Each structure stands twice: as structure tokens, then as C-alpha cells.
Amino acid sequence: MYDVAIVGAGPAGLSAALNLKLYEKDVIWFGDRGLSAKVEKSEQIANYPGAGLISGEGLNRRFADHIREMDLELTEKKVTNILGTGENYQLLAENDLYEARTLLLAIGAVTSKGFPGETKMLGRGVSYCATCDGFLYRGKTIAVYCGDPRYELEVLYLADQAEKVYLYTPYKDSTLTKDPASGNIERLPRPIGRVEGDMRVSGIVLTDGTEVPVDGLFCLRDAVAPAVLLPGLTLDGPHIAVDHGMKTNLPGCFAAGDCTGQPYQIAKAAGEGNIAAHSIVEFLGK
Amino acid sequence: MYDVAIVGAGPAGLSAALNLKLYEKDVIWFGDRGLSAKVEKSEQIANYPGAGLISGEGLNRRFADHIREMDLELTEKKVTNILGTGENYQLLAENDLYEARTLLLAIGAVTSKGFPGETKMLGRGVSYCATCDGFLYRGKTIAVYCGDPRYELEVLYLADQAEKVYLYTPYKDSTLTKDPASGNIERLPRPIGRVEGDMRVSGIVLTDGTEVPVDGLFCLRDAVAPAVLLPGLTLDGPHIAVDHGMKTNLPGCFAAGDCTGQPYQIAKAAGEGNIAAHSIVEFLGK
């Protein structure tokens, strides 16, 4: 049983992890070693105090240096589901279960609303985790929405399992369809418009109306909608509702960073991660 | 008429100034070129994301570099009184008057409660500004509480005006009483306990009960109590009450950093300065 589980390795998660380390809390910190993709992609950042004019890549490198210097450990697993028992939180991350007394959601903003039909079909053919559910589609036909190049390894894993993969990437320069190991990957000519199905996913419909029959759809994105991740969480529009201390409506559950609302800013996220860590220390002390 | 007046040059004020510069707002920014004395005095800072393990001095140097790189201008005057007219804010800084449509208070936490009697006698012998009120005490006897070495020049100015100066500094290594120009400065043997007087200050009483008759008391401190600075401001204990957008109860007046409450942390202050700047831009756009 950990004291704290932090989900997310952007500036909010990092800021909290630094503070909880100083307070010698037993922390499990989930996130990608590449840290925030949103920071990484920023061409120039001028308003993170003390960093001067810096590229997103450069600032992420400083964050990574800080992580090494403070000997923080990142667990590179994707948390796909969390259950609050009232006493503690159980986190499902790629088929492994973790328990923690408190939880910090630093999961970023969900910029996409998801595809129409996606939430309804979650667990009935729609999945957010290749490693968790890939084996269910052995010999079947699936569609994959790959939101970021860092998920391409997961796509290859899915191509290894499924008979056929229809792929859509919102970015260019994907190397996936050139890879000889991925001969069964076919690129969709148009974005995915919606998910179809009744009891289970029967297909997807592209934005131009083309129907593509599939047995499942994997949505590989940076952020999972908070309500999907942790049922019972009170939202404020698409954001997690928090008070001044970054407390959510669930006891022991805190949130920080873009997931709590605008402005979507690095300094704001770092500030909220700091506040959340202090609130968590206070909560654990009780 | 400025778009924004920022009071305070700690991490909150800096963070706001950076963002308002990017939004091309016309800003007047009040603060000491030495930036936050609290940051400067920190031996080691481990939890400002991206800065690694760094001394307070080192971090302030990075802040100063950022100010230069972004071509921000600091006005080195102490704001001692602000009046909100409902339409705009008038700031009194060392006998000069400035006007701005919006106001950001990033004035730090008031760690001292002030001396008993101090608030009652404000403007009746108690002053926070040597440059403003020093001339009123030509040939008279005054007491000076000098909270930080950076105010020692003001003490010398007061010694130049007054016949006699009783000085108390809460720190060691003051060079004031060794200066040949300050032969009329006498160090008080005990801290100041309270201010005495009826219509006007008649003297101070030290913590051991010693009475020292004086005509005035100058309190030179980093932070002025928010309610003294800007009457009408709603407080939450000793802090300025703000909402999620860093708005205070007064329209167009925002607050950020330690003055809004704990945790007193650099990342939290920088985050709040960022949020406040965005709220100000929104307010000005209306």
C-alpha cells in the first residue's frame, strides 16, 4: 500500500512528486519517461519563470534532469481504471493492480471529446489499453486511433495480435505502415467519425460516411476522460472540480494541472501540483 | 493610465509580468531589483520544477536573467497606499501617483502582525515610507524598525532628516551604527513592544517595558498588511481572499502568491501569477 499514487508526469505530477519526496512519502508515480508530450511539442516557452526563452524540448530536459537529481522513480505504465473503495484507491495499470491511500490525478486536459459512441461502447469493444486488451482480438479485425507517435509500439503489438488493423493517426510522419512487421496495418483515408454497435462494437464510420466493419476500436491518447478513469468524480464541464487545496469531491483524491481547468499553462500546473502535495501530506497526517 | 499595475517582484509578480508582456499589455511593475528577499534567503530549493537543487540566490539570478531576456521593466518604488475608485486604481509610491485599470497584488505574506498600536497610529506618527514622510520629522526624534538590510539606505535618509534615530533591526550584521554619517543613530537594546500615543505617537515601549519618547515610528518591512495597503479588500484571516481565477472582492483587483495563503511556495506563487495574468487579460478584454 503506497501513501500516494500520482497519475501523470507533466509539470503538475512532477511538482507533486518533488514535494512528496521531500516529505518522505511512499509514492508510486505513473507516467511516460518522455514526460508531457504537450510541453515537448511547444516550440518556444517564454513564461515559465526562471527558464528564460526555452523550447518545450529543452524544458522537458530540465524536468528530466531534476527527476534524476532528486532520484524520483517513474513507473511507465498506463493507468486505465481506478476504483475508490472509500478507504483507499486501486489502480489498474496494464493488468497490474496498485493500491494507495491517496490519489493525485495530474492527467492533463482531455482535448478530444472522444468519438460519438465511444463511452457507450467502452468495455464492449472500445479499449484504451493495448497491453490490457490486445489478446482479446487475436485473429480479429480492429481499428486503432493512435494519437501520438509514442503509442506506435502499442499499435505494433496490436498488429501482432489482430488479423487486420485499420489505423488513423492525427499526425504526419508515422513510420508504422512502412514497417515490414506491420503488413496487416492499413491506413484509413479519413478520420474516424463515430463508433457503431449495439451490444458490442460492429464497426466504425469515417467522417465521409464510409463504413468499416471492425470487432474493436483502440483509442490510444494522452489523456483519458476523468469520469472514465475514476467513476464518481465530480466534474466542472470537462474538468475535474477542485477546491483551493486541489481536493476533489472524493476523500483522499486530489487533482492538479490542465485537468482542473484553464489556463493550460506549465507554471499553473506546477503550482497546483505543489499545493496538492501539501494537501496530501496534511490528509495523510490525519 | 496603465492597463495593469503589479505590486511585488517575487515569483508571483514575475510570472504575471511575463504573461502580460506576451499579451502586450501596458504594465507598471513595482518591486525591488533584488526581487524576493524570501527566495534570496533560502539556502536550498529542491522543489521548483526544472531548476534542480538550487540556492535561493541562484534561483533569483535566473529570475533576473529572465526579466532581462524578456525586457521587463521594474519600477523600484515602494507602494504604500492604493485607492480604488471603482473605475481604476490609484497607487501612491514614494509621493508619485500612478493610475491603472487593473491591479495585481503580489505583495507576499505578512509574517509580522505589526506592533500593538501600529495600525491605530498609522498616519498619526506611524509611517511605512521614509521617502514619503521623512521630511515631516526634521529636527525631531524618531524610532525606526528596519526589517531588512535593503532598507538601510532609507534609515540613513531618515537619520539625515531627524535629530535622533532609535533603531531596531531583527537581523545581525547591520553596518548602520558604524557609518560615520549616522552618528545620531542609536541602537535599541530590546525589540519594540508597542506604540504609544493618543492623537499622535508619543513614544514606544520596548519588550522589557522601557519607555522611549519619540515623535514618530517608521516600520520598514517587506510586506505591508493588505488591508492597510488597499482598504476594502476582503481578507481570509491574514490573507487576501481570492477565487479560482485569483480575483479579489474588488472589481479589477487580483492577488497572487504568498499573500493569498499557504503553502508559501515558489511554484504555487508562479502558478497563481500566471492564472491572475490570464484573468486580467480577460477582464481588460471586456
More confident residue, B181 or A175: A175
Predicted confidence at residue A24, as pLDDT, reads 95
CA distance B260 to B270: 12
Q: Which of A278, A285, A284, A277 is nearest to A16 (CA)?
A: A277
Return the pLDDT at A176. 79
CA distance A234 to B190: 55
Report yes or no: A48 at the B interface, CB cutoff 8 Å.
yes
How much of chain B exceeds pLDDT 70, in percent?
A: 97
Q: What angle do CA A79, A80, A85 make, to 5 degrees?
A: 85
What residues does B99 pair with on adjacent strands?
B90
Q: pTM of this prediction?
A: 0.84
pLDDT mean across residues, chain B: 93
Rounded CA-CA distance A97/A164 in Å is: 30
Contact (Cβ atoms closer than 8 angstroms) between residue B264 and residue B111: no
- pLDDT for A150: 85
Nearest to A18 among B49, B65, B269 (CB): B49
Nearest-by-Cβ selection for B52 from A47, A52, A66:
A66
CA gap A104, A265 in Å, rounded: 18
Q: Can you give the pLDDT at residue A41? A: 87
Q: What is residue A182's predicted lDDT score, i.e. its pLDDT?
A: 64
* A88 contact B CB<8A: no
Q: Would you call A262 an interface residue with chain B, using a CB distance cutoff of 8 Å?
A: yes
Residues A155-173, mean pLDDT to the nearest whole number: 92
Chain pair A-B, CB pairs under 8 angstroms: 111
What is the spatial distance between Cα B9 and Cα B72, in angstroms, rounded to a whole number?
Answer: 11
On whether the CB atoms of residues A156 and A174 are closer than 8 A, the answer is no
A10 touches chain B (CB under 8 A): no
Is the pLDDT at A180 greater than 60, yes or no?
no
Q: Does A97 touch chain B (CB under 8 A)?
A: no
How does A155-171 read in b/e, with b if 16+ C-beta sit within 10 Å?
Answer: bbebbebbebbbbbbee
Least confident residue range of A43-57, A113-127, A179-193, B210-224: A179-193
Chain A residue numbers with beta carbons less than 8 Å from the beta carbon of B261 are 244
CB contact under 8 A, A22 and B46: yes
Which amino acid is located at B28 in the chain? I
Residue of B23, B39, B45, B274 for testing the chain A interface, max A β-carbons within 10 Å: B274
Bond prior to A226 in cis (omega within 30° of 0):
no
Per-residue confidence band for B227, with pLDDT thresholds at 50, 70 and 90: confident
Closest CA of chain A from B90, distance in Å: 28
Confidence of residue A113 (pLDDT cuts 50, 70, 90): confident
Is A31 a residue whose pLDDT tops 70?
A: yes
Which DSSP string corresponds to chain A? -EEEEEE--SHHHHHHHHHHHHTT--EEEE--TT--HHHHT-S-B--STTS-SB-HHHHHHHHHHHHHHTT---B---EEEEEE-SS-EEEEETTEEEEEEEEEE------S---TTTTTTBTTTEES-HHHHGGGGTTSEEEEEE-SGGGHHHHHHHHHHSSEEEEE-SSS---GGG-GGGTTEEE-SS-EEEEEESSSEEEEEETTS-EEE-SEEEEE-S---HHHHSTT--EETTEEP--TT-B-SSTTEEE-SGGG-S---HHHHHHHHHHHHHHHHHHHH-
As given in the structure block, the three cell numbers for residue B1 are 493610465
Among A63, A244, A270, select the one facing B270 at the smallest CB separation.
A270
Q: Which of A74-88, A271-285, B29-43, B100-114: highest mean pLDDT?
A: A271-285
Q: What is the mean pLDDT of residues B68-90?
A: 93
Cell of B255: 492577488
- Residues B199-222 as b/e (b if ≥16 CB within 10 A, e otherwise) read eebebbbbeeeeebebbbbbbbbb
Over 80: is that where the pLDDT of A13 sits?
A: yes
Give the angle subtended at the CA of A254 by the CAs of A252 and A259, to the nearest 5°.
155
User: Which chain B residues touch A16 with a CB distance below 8 Å?
Assistant: none
Strand pairing category for A141-146 and A164-168: parallel
* A244 in contact with B, Cβ within 8 Å: yes
pLDDT in tens, A213-266: 999 999 998 777 888 889 899 999 889 999 999 999 999 999 999 999 999 999
CA nearest to B268 within chain A: A271
B197 in contact with A, Cβ within 8 Å: no
Mean pLDDT of the B126-150 span: 91
pLDDT tens digits along A79-108: 988 999 888 999 999 889 999 999 999 999
Q: What is the mean pLDDT of residues B100-107?
A: 98
Residues of B in Cβ contact (< 8 Å) with A59 = 50
What's the average model confidence in pLDDT over A122-139?
A: 89
Taking CA–CA distances from A264, the nearest residue in chain B reads B275
Q: What single-letter DSSP state applies at residue B199?
A: S
* CA geometry: angle A61, A64, A65, nearest 5 deg: 90
pLDDT at A119: 84
Average pLDDT, chain A: 93
In one-letter notation, the amino acid at residue A16 is A
Contacts of B47 in chain A (CB under 8 A): 15, 18-19, 22, 274
> Which residues have C-beta within 8 Å of that of residue A131, sequence separation ≥ 6?
A78, A94, A95, A154, A157
Picking from A23, A66, A279 by the largest number of B CB atoms within 10 A of its own CB, the best residue to mutate is A66
- If one counts every other C-beta atom within 10 angstroms of the C-beta of residue B24, the result is 9
Through-space distance between the first and last CA atoms of chain A, rounded to whole angstroms: 17
Q: Which residues of A touch B270 (CB under 8 A)?
A: 48-49, 267, 270-271
Highest-confidence segment of A29-43, B75-89, B261-275: B261-275
The pLDDT value recorded for residue B120 is 87
